[in-house]
Structure 1
Amino acid sequence: MKKGLMTMTIRSPGKIRLLLAAAPLVIALAATPAFAQDTTAAPLPSAPAPADDTSQQDVVVTGSLIRNSATATAAPINTLSAQDFVTRGQNTIAEALQTIPANGAGTMTRAWNSFGFATGATAVSLRGLTTGNTLTLFDGQRSAIYPLGDDGQRSFVDLNTIPQSIVEKVDVLQDGASSTYGADAVAGVVNVVIKKEIVGLHANVSAGISEHGDGGEKRADLTYGYGKLSEQGFNIYINGEYQSSNPLYARDRGYPYNTNDYSRVCNGAGNCLTNETINGIQANGDFGGLGSTRVPVVQPYLNGAPAYEDPADPRGNFRLLNASAGCRDLKAVTLTPAQQAAAIGANTPTDPQICQQDNINDYLQEIPKQQRYGATAHVTVNVGDRAQAYATGTFYESKTDSSISPLAFANQTAAGGTQFTLSPVILPTYICPRGTTVDCTAANGTLNPNNPFAAAGQQARVNYRYDLPRRTLSDAKTYRFAGGISGSFGDNWKYDVNGTYSEVDLRITNKNYLIPQRLIDVVNDGSFNFVDPSQNSQAIRDYIAPTNVNNSNSKLWQVQASLSKALFALPGGDLVAAVGGAYRHESVYNPSANAPNEVNPADRYYSINSVSTIGSRNVRSGFFEIDAPIFDQLTLNGSGRYDSYSSGQDNFSPKITAIFKPIEQLRFRGTWSRGFRIPSFQEAYGQPTTGYINATVSPDQPGGAAYIAAHGNNNYAKLPYSYGLTSSGNPNLKPETSTSLTGGVVFEPNRHFAFTVDYYHIKIKGLIGAPDYSGVEEAYYANNGVVNLPGISVRPGIADPDHPNALPQLGFVEYQYVNTTSETTSGLDFSGTARLPLGHGINLTSRVDATYLINLDQTTPAGVVQKFAGSLSPCNITSCSGAPRWRGSWQNTLDFSGRASLSATAYYTSGYSMASVDYGGDPSDCSASLGSSVYTYNNGDAYKCHARRFIDVDMTASVKVGDRFTFYANVLNVFDAKPDFNPGQSYDSGFGYNVAWESQGFIGRFVRFGAKIDL
């Protein structure tokens, strides 16, 4: 055991289950002596102060400029305290925010951050309006964005950079707040508030592991603080924390999540899902043709074409290049004569022995390896009797390591500039040293040792997939500094002056990504060993797939000041006015990791996105707020902000709120505001950025049957494939503008109970996005590749090497971002809290939070209203993870005189239609999404038209030993809930479930033990 860090090794799943079952009992027994020592009733924990609570100390309310003890907010705010993180067993702020009900469609979880555009980052999407419309603040101040955009488009702040151990609370303002904070606060604000004062030494260590014995994690943090503001007039503390978590792979769990052979999933009539492994045999015995695996197969070629014209001539069959080695570590399959005949029909004649490769089982990483650590120093000083100053500095580093399936040698370079396709890959008869400028012949070369047909004067077409998985490593270093002073002078004039500087330095390292020009080089000089690929030297591997390192950064600095004063008395209290101004600079530098190469288009990587964004701008802002308690029962508030951008845009954002309290126990509240979102750097200046979606050509769609027939009914035409959506920036974009309103009721009949219901409605105009491409697939296959849609161009994909003259798969859909039409969302927020004394010092706290999504609609340029609520859409934003109508949580905590606690929290996400509405689907017509988001049996019937709800229950327990030590245990997913197997979700990326909402179901039951020391 390392000093200061608790480690745990448990190898037996049976023992893990025993520990899980025993943990609550052990903690309860340990707590018993503490209960016996004090049987008197402890005071009931006080409820969080309502918005209009009057204390003697000025408070800062998220969404307001006014520091005032009597300030009330009409906007719904969901506050997560440091204690909430403990009682819910949440180890990171990112993890906690993912579970709030208001986090909707478009959220970025750690499972998404492996190979998404914003590799290594996480973010939330309030109201389902994307990460770009959720503003994240630190103590009310902005922070530098992540250098990579969500979907290569939207700017956001990475939640992985927040040091949880010093966070006092997180306020989630569930309302538009552009009148206070400016751009991007359309859907709401996440304000992370760190502790102002920490005294003494505080340490926390924990370790956890799943009941399967994998996915282990470790955490440690240490904080030391000195000085009390009330006594010495200052406080200074330093903090450090470390966290690490191990990766999880698909192969770590059982069927059907550990494979892409779904052919064992069948209906009552005997129809089964598709076996999508490479060279897989279907449940009915069908074989769709030969694919490329990490075991090379070859076919004799002559002058760039098959050496034998008759595909039934066995001399022209594909065969194992190294028959003596067989399939090595892959599954060997012997084809029947009927299956061989099918391969001939697919124009991939092959010998009976083939090898199957399961990329999901071999390579798919469900949860990336992650490591996070950082340090913070904070000082607060009383300046005289009427002012307080602070300064804080944080360094935080977050690293991830992800892997995914390897690439085939026959492929196409990434979108951007002129693309190069290498297909098929032909091994020459003779090889010559690299750099030979004349044709390689018998006169100047030697027979190719990789080509078994060379002695016969033939070439060899080789089908081969690289044997090393692609790896992407992210390393984000965040530097954040802030300082300021607030206080009062004269006749109670209040001021607040602060500034901040932040920077994110990001390094993305890509390994095992191939460059076609270099493949051509090693094919022609024979230096790559196809006969036994495992014998290739590291030098050869480094040549064909050199490590790609891309450094980017983003910066932000800001200064702002505000002044407020109570101007005169009204019947309900003082009218308070505040004014202020701010100036900030923000920039991003993200050069392309795979820039276009017009001199030699082949000298670029496969697969690495060409995305690039470089830009900067300055923002000048002025703002005001007036709070007017008209009389005791009615308070009105008005605010506004004007922002002027050096890039040419400007905007004024007003807001009006009202609180009406007819009786002490009942409060009505409402808000109206206008907001805006400035085009992100990626949207305005980004170079071509490509994301991929999966599709399947159905024989029932227009042109589908003819397309499949033209390809000999082979797997190229029948199985799911990917095509790219390539977007480019548009400097002429206008800001999105929004109108928001909320209205609700707060009912607090007594100090034990509180209930709230709020309605929200947000409409965004000038929505920035893609032109409507929902008809591209149908038009492409119906019109032999010709697509005439406004603002859209298409490129074909890699040609079918076995039918090179047939229409290729759809390859790329290309467009510039445009201001489209509008998006509207509305819903209801519910919350309820009960705090009940049960006697003998035992108190029960029960809290329910829920959000119901009434509608999430987007209007296309053609005037068609796409309704996403309760469906798998919007796929273009959520990667087909959907917009569930209901999300909620229910937390119940028993507190035993402050000496021990036991808590259970249930999280609920409702089911939804599998319709991909923005790709032409219809929630009321399952058939409209067949072959895309709705998986089908081999007879064409739908597998599932609806995804079921997911419920996850977490339990935590803690006990104090003396005044200095606390021991705790967390059991996450205590009932071991499984995700709904439904492979059309998550862009059919091989997960088989919805990674946005159900990742804990894949992880399974998870136990964590820890200890805290407070000195």
Structure 2
Amino acid sequence: MLKENLFKLSLMAVAMTGVVAVNDAQAQDEAAKDEKVVITGSRIRQSQLATASPVLTLSREDIEKTGLTSVADVLQKMSASGAALNTRFNSSGNFGMPSDGGGVGAGGAEVDLRHLGSRRVLVLVDGRRWVSGASASGVSGAVDLNTVPLAIVERIEILEDGASSIYGSDAVAGVVNVITRKDIDGWEMNASYGGFGDFVTGIDDGDTTSIEFTFGAVGARHSIVSSFSHVDQNVVFSKNRDLADSPVEGTGTTRGSSATPTGRFLYDDNGTTVNVTPNDGASGLLNFPTDFHNFTDDDRFNYAAYNLYVTPSQRTNVFTRAKYDLTNTVSFFAQAMFNNRKSQNQAAPEPIFIGPEAGTGGIADTVSIDVTNPYNPFGVTLDENNFIFAGRRPIEAGPRSYSQDVNTYFFTTGFEGSFDIGDSPFYWDASMSWGTNRATQLKTGALNAARIKRALGPLAECQADPLCVPLNIFGAGSITQDMLDYISFTQKDVSENKIQMFAANITGDLFEMPAGYAGFAAGYEHRVQNGFFEPDVIAASGESMGIPASPTRGGYDVDEYFIEAMFPLMADSSGASMLELTTAVRRSEYTTTSDVSFDQTTTKFGLLFRPMTELTLRATMAEGFRAPSIGEFFNTGARNDATLTDPCLNSANETRCEQVWGPMDFVALANLGQTQISVVTGGNDQLSPEETESSMFGAVYSPDWFSGDDFIEQMNFELSFYDHQIDNAIGAVDAQLQLNECVVNGNDDFCNGIARANGVGITRFDNGLQNLSRIETSGSDFKLSMISQESDLGRFKLTWRNTFVNEYTQTVFGQSSGDLDGIEFGSNPDRAIPEWKYDLTLDWAKNDWSASTTMRYLSKIYESCSDFLDNTPNSLANLGLCSNPNFSDNSLSTNIMDETYYFDAQVSYATQIGGFNSVISVGARNLFDQDPPRCTQCDLNGYLPGIYDAQGRYWYVKFSMRP
């Protein structure tokens, strides 16, 4: 199939070359033809920039004013962006793997539009689909934008509308098209340095250095541009941010781990539950009960101090694009890029959770502590007959470290050109692309559960292994280096995503209508995508004390055909009034490596009406789809340790719990204090594509009131209303929803797959991926831009972009979530949808000076303020962490993450240095040191890193030079 399509594509390119060669003698000045351009959201060349779909363009100048060093950070500041992975997320699997099989994306960065998830945003580079990311923990269905360096970006076009009929799968919430730099004649250098700095608090960390060189040459028949860039972002430790590290903020000791540095042990002693931990300072050979005390929540371990607040990342990129005009109408082009990312995450020492209630679903649940173990202080064997649970945090081993090394290669080559038929010009291109994203991750501080079992078991079994060293998990500093050497290992995981594409497109005028020429675009694309995830053999076998991992391998190929047409239905002689209809249809035919086939046909219709010169009205209706990702199709199993509230801890639900699971020990359940529960999911190669319906209508108003105005030169208003509905949304049933439906609402259908051990804690959920839900969201965007006249005060530009979310609901098996906008929900990563976001930017320029300041606003977010310590002295309400506490029933307490404002500013001065044109810029992000609102339900660092900036003021200086 691959060779056949290559051959077809080659024949097409040769045929087109022959056609344009015939017309070469009559070729006219190409500059006139180039007045028509292709804008993201349509493949038809057109002369007007206003289209039926809204497109936001961020120029290189706009990007430089932010002082940011990554494409993802720029896009995540937009008002239409939702919570997406970035370098403020510090999770490499210590909470588990997501159900989609895509891995945690450690060190990566993505973009989310309309809060519909990164997998529902299509990322293009120069109009071509980009390779998905890989961070050695799965096969992702989303693009890691750290693979696209800012150094190569000319502009970014964001289509804020569905476009599957134009681009195929994934273009559900919108499309991000990164346009690279092309016609550069000369060279330029840009460098920046910045970091968090505060003279009052003494914060000084997170230094980031960026340097880039760009060279280009333009000749009579050729152009070439090359770029080299390197970004080095240093670490920020959670212990250096009080919001992330302080127990008072709800993320420290009282909300920490029950696996303590001295050990916690629960077992049944002839009907009495023993729940103890060694006394402070107790070490050596301990005696029970004299060296122990009853475990309390004050004994919990504060793992936050080991976490990272901003993860370190080094990104190096080399990029080259060349174009050569073979004739006046035919050009050859080639584009190549290599990107390397080295990044790191860190977590507290890997906990040793053992016993039937450990809930790992693996070997650790079968570990016993034998009476012959020389360090066992209890004088009895703890096994399946009496053992409940034990937790020990081996701080002697140091923190877990996850180091990623990610290489991305992308190469495109092809031909493009034009020809005339009569008076009508036609433009064509034929290209081939190959992309690979391959990642390896090394985890140090990993523990082998099988060896722990042997080292804690019968002494004779340990002695039979010449390497085995009996393990002492009782008391402070009890684990020696010899013990660590036996139970520790270095874990190596690998994952990869590959894409191959072969495409041919043509666009031009079909025929003349009374209001103008009807335009069209048509094309064919053959795409092959493959991916795999190979976890370390110990992790794959279930012998790791950490999260077990299952291998993933698979792929699919797709043939796609599309046609798009634009019909000018009405136009007056002055051009003030016009009506235009656009329509598109795309056929996509998929075949997976498991021989599953499916087809999808999508359509789109758009209207553009200009009743007068100043006013443009537009509307679109579109069908869309998202094919299941490789991880969703072929993942053989993923475990996620979700932070849940067990409703069986509420005495009102005890009868229902025993009805479902039989006799239960509610005292042992309360003593267990279970917060993280394993949820096991897996892929499904029988999944159907997600199907979407999108609509948009709006207006663009550019009044001419200001003609001759002494101050305002131009003003534009833009208002758009959007609506998205996704059916057959792929996912696993939310574990908390499933648990609540089973217990609280008495729905037996939701109890399937929830397992408990010995009538105590939940040991696992079994819920694989399904086409199970509907997602509906609607809202509006309002944009205002104003440019002033040049005056003695300089020139001003005002830009105000707003996004309002009217509704966001998820319906699973007929159960509606209710409206989620303005509410914190979900986990890993934690999600929230502000009802209103805006950014207001004021730019100023005069002579050699320029300045820019931006105010960003996020409306308040509500969250539950309840967890497993409700109705205790350490409940969130009793600690004073809830803005709306309910002291009679802590479970009804809520917290408000208040309205948040961020101010960014930059001042620049242009001058000559050594005869070269230079610009020096100084700026600050979060100028007034706004702290992110405290989140009591968030898993790490006490705030929502996908929504808010990191704590601290960030200063930077930039320098650029060119001839």
Q: TM-score, normalised by structure 2?
A: 0.81
Are 1:1009 and 2:957 an aligned pair?
yes
Q: CA deviation at 1:123?
A: 1.1
The alignment covers a number of residue pairs equal to 862
Q: Is the 8 A contact 1:881 1:995 kept in 2?
A: no
Q: Is the 8 A contact 1:486 1:494 kept in 2?
A: yes
Change (3 A) 1:321 1:912: closer
Q: CA deviation at 1:415?
A: 11
Report the 3-state secondary structure (helix = DSSP H, G, I; strand = E; otherwise coil) of the residue aligned with 1:839: coil
Q: CA deviation at 1:527?
A: 4.4
Report the 3-state secondary structure (helix = DSSP H, G, I; strand = E; otherwise coil) of the residue aligned with 1:175: coil
Distance 1:494 1:310 in 2: 82
Change (3 A) 1:63 1:754: same
CA deviations on 1:804-844 (whole Å, 9 max, x unpaired) are x5x32223221122222422111101111111135137111
Distance 2:922 2:547 in 1: 42
What pairs with 1:878-897 in structure 2 (closer than 5 Å)?
A: 879-897=829-847
Change (3 A) 1:671 1:87: same
Distance 1:169 1:385 in 2: 27
Distance 1:466 1:320 in 2: 16
Distance 2:446 2:37 in 1: 53
What pairs with 1:748-767 in structure 2 (closer than 5 Å)?
A: 748-750=702-704, 752-767=714-729
What pairs with 1:220-619 in structure 2 (closer than 5 Å)?
A: 220-228=210-218, 231-254=219-242, 256-262=243-249, 275-277=254-256, 291-295=258-262, 319-320=278-279, 323=282, 350=293, 356=299, 358-411=301-354, 419-422=362-365, 426=369, 428-429=371-372, 448=374, 450-451=375-376, 464-467=392-395, 468-491=398-421, 492-523=425-456, 524=459, 525=462, 526-528=469-471, 540-593=483-536, 604-619=543-558
Q: Is the 8 A contact 2:695 2:723 kept in 1?
A: yes
Distance 2:931 2:473 in 1: 42
Report the 3-state secondary structure (helix = DSSP H, G, I; strand = E; otherwise coil) of the residue aligned with 1:160: helix
Q: CA deviation at 1:752?
A: 1.2
Report what 1:333 is aligned to. none
Distance 1:262 1:704 in 2: 32
CA deviations on 1:538-589 (whole Å, 9 max, x unpaired) are 6643431211101111100101111222122223321112221111111111
Change (3 A) 1:305 1:661: closer
Report the 3-state secondary structure (helix = DSSP H, G, I; strand = E; otherwise coil) of the residue aligned with 1:350: strand
Report what 1:971 is aligned to. 924
Determine which of 47, 59, 70 is the counterpart of 1:81. Answer: 59
Change (3 A) 1:585 1:697: closer
Q: Is the 8 A contact 2:865 2:894 kept in 1?
A: no
What pairs with 1:182-221 in structure 2 (closer than 5 Å)?
A: 182-211=168-197, 212-221=202-211
Report the 3-state secondary structure (helix = DSSP H, G, I; strand = E; otherwise coil) of the residue aligned with 1:742: strand
Name the amino acid aligned to 2:64: V
Distance 1:935 1:811 in 2: 33
Report the 3-state secondary structure (helix = DSSP H, G, I; strand = E; otherwise coil) of the residue aligned with 2:546: coil
Q: Is the 8 A contact 1:854 1:869 kept in 2?
A: yes
Q: Is the 8 A contact 1:250 1:259 kept in 2?
A: no
Report the 3-state secondary structure (helix = DSSP H, G, I; strand = E; otherwise coil) of the residue aligned with 1:901: strand
What pairs with 1:685-696 in structure 2 (closer than 5 Å)?
A: 685-696=634-645
Distance 1:652 1:932 in 2: 51
Report the 3-state secondary structure (helix = DSSP H, G, I; strand = E; otherwise coil) of the residue aligned with 1:840: coil
Report what 1:282 is aligned to. none
Q: Is the 8 A contact 1:412 1:420 kept in 2?
A: no
Report the 3-state secondary structure (helix = DSSP H, G, I; strand = E; otherwise coil) of the residue aligned with 2:600: strand
Distance 1:207 1:233 in 2: 39
Report what 1:671 is aligned to. 620
Q: Is the 8 A contact 2:358 2:364 kept in 1?
A: no
Report what 2:708 is aligned to. none
Q: Is the 8 A contact 1:684 1:729 kept in 2?
A: yes
Q: Is the 8 A contact 2:774 2:811 kept in 1?
A: yes
Q: Is the 8 A contact 1:260 1:358 kept in 2?
A: no
Change (3 A) 1:958 1:114: farther
Distance 1:1010 1:556 in 2: 36
Q: Is the 8 A contact 2:136 2:494 kept in 1?
A: no
Point out where structure 1 has 5 or more consecutive residues left out of the alignment: 1-53, 266-272, 279-290, 328-342, 431-447, 800-804, 920-926
Report what 2:802 is aligned to. 850
Name the amino acid aligned to 1:726: V
Distance 1:931 1:607 in 2: 34
Distance 1:779 1:791 in 2: 8
What is the RMSD of the two structures over their aligned residues, measured on CA atoms?
4.0
Distance 2:355 2:930 in 1: 41
Change (3 A) 1:321 1:787: farther
Distance 1:697 1:905 in 2: 44
Q: CA deviation at 1:166?
A: 1.7
CA deviations on 1:199-233 (whole Å, 9 max, x unpaired) are 222112221121244333333333342422xx533
Q: Is the 8 A contact 1:689 1:726 kept in 2?
A: yes
471-480 or 856-865, which deviates more: 856-865
Q: Is the 8 A contact 1:627 1:636 kept in 2?
A: yes
CA deviations on 1:499-518 (whole Å, 9 max, x unpaired) are 21100111122222222211
Report the 3-state secondary structure (helix = DSSP H, G, I; strand = E; otherwise coil) of the residue aligned with 1:966: strand
Which has the larger strand fraction? Answer: 2
Name the amino acid aligned to 1:670: A
Name the amino acid aligned to 1:737: E
Q: CA deviation at 1:630?
A: 2.0
CA deviations on 1:8-49 (whole Å, 9 max, x unpaired) are xxxxxxxxxxxxxxxxxxxxxxxxxxxxxxxxxxxxxxxxxx
Are 1:795 and 2:744 an aligned pair?
no
Report what 1:34 is aligned to. none
Q: Is the 8 A contact 2:653 2:743 kept in 1?
A: yes
Distance 1:542 1:513 in 2: 11
CA deviations on 1:845-880 (whole Å, 9 max, x unpaired) are 11011111111122221354632222223x16x744
Report what 1:114 is aligned to. 91
Change (3 A) 1:232 1:836: same
Are 1:139 and 2:78 an aligned pair?
no
CA deviations on 1:908-952 (whole Å, 9 max, x unpaired) are 1211221599x9xxxxxxx99x99999967764455343212211
Report the 3-state secondary structure (helix = DSSP H, G, I; strand = E; otherwise coil) of the residue aligned with 2:946: coil
Change (3 A) 1:997 1:678: same
Distance 1:451 1:416 in 2: 23
Report the 3-state secondary structure (helix = DSSP H, G, I; strand = E; otherwise coil) of the residue aligned with 1:869: coil
What pairs with 1:150-169 in structure 2 (closer than 5 Å)?
A: 155-169=141-155
What pairs with 1:727-806 in structure 2 (closer than 5 Å)?
A: 727-750=681-704, 752-771=714-733, 775-778=737-740, 788-789=748-749, 792-796=752-756
Distance 2:518 2:357 in 1: 60
Report what 1:36 is aligned to. none
Name the amino acid aligned to 1:159: L
Q: CA deviation at 1:147?
A: 3.5
